[in-house]
Amino acid sequence: MDYKQTLAQFLASDKVSKDELLPLIVDSDGVRADIAMPCHKLAAKLKKSPVMVAEELRDCIKKAVPEWCADAQAVNGYLNVFLNREFYTRDVLTAILQRGDDFPAAPPNDKTVTIDYSSINIAKPFHIGHLLTTVIGGSLRRIFAFLGYNAVGINHLGDWGTQFGKLIVAVKKWGGGDTIEELSRLYVKFHEEAENDDTLNDEGRKWFKKIEEGDTGALALFRKFKEITLKEAEKVYKTLGVEFDSYAGESFYNDKMAPVVELLENKGLLTESDGAKVVDLKQYDMPPCLILKSDGASLYATRDLAAAIYRKNAYDFNQNLYVVAYQQNLHFRQVFKVLEMMGFDWAGGCKHVPFGMVSLEGGGSLSTRKGNVVLLKDVLAAAVEKAGRIIEEKNPDLEGRDAVAKSVGVGAVIFGAIFNSRIKDVSFSLDKALSFEGETGPYLQYTYARCRSVLSRGEVSGIGYKTEQGSIRGLASYQVSGGGDVCFDPKLADELTDDQTFEVIRLLGGFDGAVAEAAKTYEPSVISRYLMDLAQSFNRFYIDHRVINDDKKMQSARLLLTRCVANVLKNGLKLVLLDAPKKM
Q: State the residues that interact with ligand ARG by CB under 6 A.
A: 116, 119, 121, 156, 158, 304, 307, 322, 324
Smallest distance from ligand ARG to CB 391, Å: 35
- Whole-number minimum distance, CB 246 to ligand ARG, in Å? 12
What is the smallest separation between the CB atom of 69 and ligand ARG, expressed in angstroms?
49
Measured in whole angstroms, the distance separating CA 251 from the mean position of its chain's CA atoms is 27
Alpha helices in 272-425 (DSSP H): 300-315, 329-341, 376-394, 401-418
* Pick 121 or 567: Cβ nearer ligand ARG: 121
| Cα–Cα nearest to 540, from 501, 582, 580 | 501
Smallest separation (angstroms) from ligand ARG to the CB of 126 = 10
Task: Indicate the residue among 33 and 306 with the shorter CB distance to ligand ARG.
Answer: 306
What is the smallest separation between the CB atom of 296 and ligand ARG, expressed in angstroms? Answer: 21
Distance CA 350, CA 347 (A): 5
Q: Is the Cβ–Cβ distance between 556 and 492 less than 8 Å?
A: yes
Q: How far is the CB of 414 from ligand ARG (least distance, A)?
A: 19
Side-chain-side CA neighbours of residue 435 (13 Å): 10
Q: Which is nearer to ligand ARG, 331 or 401 (CB)?
A: 331
Query: How do strand 112-116 and strand 150-154 relate by DSSP bridges?
Result: parallel
User: Residue 292 or residue 532: which is nearer to ligand ARG going by CB?
Assistant: 292
CB of 109 to ligand ARG, least distance (A): 25
Least Cα distance to 580 among 451, 482, 455 occurs for: 451
CA distance 293 to 98: 60
Spell out the alpha helix ranges (H) of 72-130. 85-98
Nearest to 377 by CA among 550, 152, 120: 120
Closer of 116 and 439 to ligand ARG (Cβ): 116
Answer whether 69's CB lies under 8 Å from 84's CB.
yes
* Contact (CB, 8 A) for 258 and 277: no
Closer to ligand ARG by Cβ: residue 156 or 406: 156
Nearer Cβ to ligand ARG, position 142 or 156? Answer: 156
Please state the closest distance from residue 307 (CB atom) to ligand ARG, in A. Answer: 6
Q: Which is nearer to ligand ARG, 178 or 243 (CB)?
A: 243
Sheet holding 350-353, edge to edge: 150-154, 112-116, 319-323, 350-353
Containing 279, the helix (H) or strand (E) segment is: strand 276-279
Alpha-carbon distance 507 to 516, whole Å?
15
SS3 call for 70: strand
For ligand ARG, give the closer residue by CB, 157 or 292: 157
**What are the C-alpha distances in Å from 387 to residues 1, 2, 408, 441?**
40, 39, 6, 12
- Of 444, 446, 447, 477, residue with least CA distance to 560: 477
Min dist. Cβ of residue 339 to ligand ARG (A)? 13
Residue 82 or 222: the one with the smaller Cβ distance to ligand ARG is 222
Phi and psi at 120, nearest 5°, equal -75, 165
> Could you count the other beta carbons within 10 Å of the beta carbon of residue 51?
15
Cα–Cα distance, 248 to 156 (Å, whole number)? 6
Give the distance, in angstroms, between the CA of residue 373 and the centroid of all CA atoms in the same chain.
Answer: 25
Burial of 64 (0-12, 13-18, 19+ CB in 10 A): exposed
Nearer to ligand ARG, 232 or 304 (CB): 304
Could you tell me the smallest distance in angstroms from the CB atom of residue 299 to ligand ARG?
11
Q: How far is the CB of 247 from ligand ARG (least distance, A)?
A: 13
SS3 464: strand
Least distance to ligand ARG from the beta carbon of 327, Å? 8
Between 156 and 277, name the residue whose CB sits nearer to ligand ARG.
156
Report residue 151: phi and psi, to 5°.
Answer: -100, 120
